[in-house]
Amino acid sequence: MGLKIVQAGEPLLRQVARSLTRQEILRDEIQRLIDDMRETMRDAPGVGFAAPQIGLSLQLAVIEDREESLKDLPPQELADTDRRPVPLLVIINPQITFTADDEASFYEGCLSLAGFSAVVPRARAVHVKYLDELGESRSVEASGWYARILQHEIDHLHGTLYLDRMHTRTFTSSDNWNRFWKGKPIGEPSSRQ
């Protein structure tokens, strides 16, 4: 069942979501929600999806960067962004630690800002502790695009959108990104006219 994705301006997108208990995680309604979120993310298509994006104030997100999504991307873009397939991951009540001092800046979109993107600086590597879909404690070390996805989705759980982190002069519609910036190096945001 595809879920309705709320768009920027929805007040809940700017609130800190509440944590889930292990007992809540194991309930049928949360298990169905996880399945519905995965399906909605894949249908959109997207690589991550957080519960606040469907109007639910829960510390829950799904992440997946499928191999078939990467097959049409140029090898140089995959190398530049350090992007590799990421198997389905359910993160609940995540705690993030930045494990690299350096950042990478790339265009980023969001299902709750449909039709737009901007250059967003993000840490290159992170460590995330979380509960999985069975309420078990887990952790993951991620770098490159995987780290970017985790940061983006965890931001959603804290009421933050990429708009809060973007280089404002790079904000663009998808049509103009395809027209002017697709396949080109990022460069300095101040050089964007």
The class that CATH gives domain 11-186 is alpha beta
Kindly give the confidence (pLDDT) of every residue in the chain, 193 residues in length, as a single tens digit, with 9 standing for 90 and above. Answer: 579 999 999 999 999 999 999 999 999 999 999 999 999 999 999 999 999 999 999 999 999 999 998 998 888 889 989 999 999 999 999 999 999 789 999 999 999 999 999 999 999 999 999 999 999 999 999 999 999 999 999 999 999 999 999 999 999 999 998 898 887 777 644 444 4
Are the C-beta atoms of residues 169 and 189 closer than 8 Å to each other? yes
Question: Is 68 among the residues known to form the active site?
Answer: no
Detail the DSSP E strand segments found in the chain. 48-50, 60-65, 86-98, 103-109, 116-123, 125-131, 137-143, 172-173
The per-residue pLDDT for 187 is 61
The per-residue pLDDT for 192 is 44
Active-site residue identified among 64, 108, 133, 153: 153
What are the structure tokens assigned to 89, written together? 């991951």
Taking the domains of the chain in order of start, what are their residue ranges? 11-186
pTM over 0.85: yes
The per-residue pLDDT for 27 is 98
How far are the Cα atoms of 108, 171, 175 from residue 189, in angstroms, in the given order? 14, 10, 19
Closest CA to 149 of 87, 76, 77: 87
The per-residue pLDDT for 73 is 87
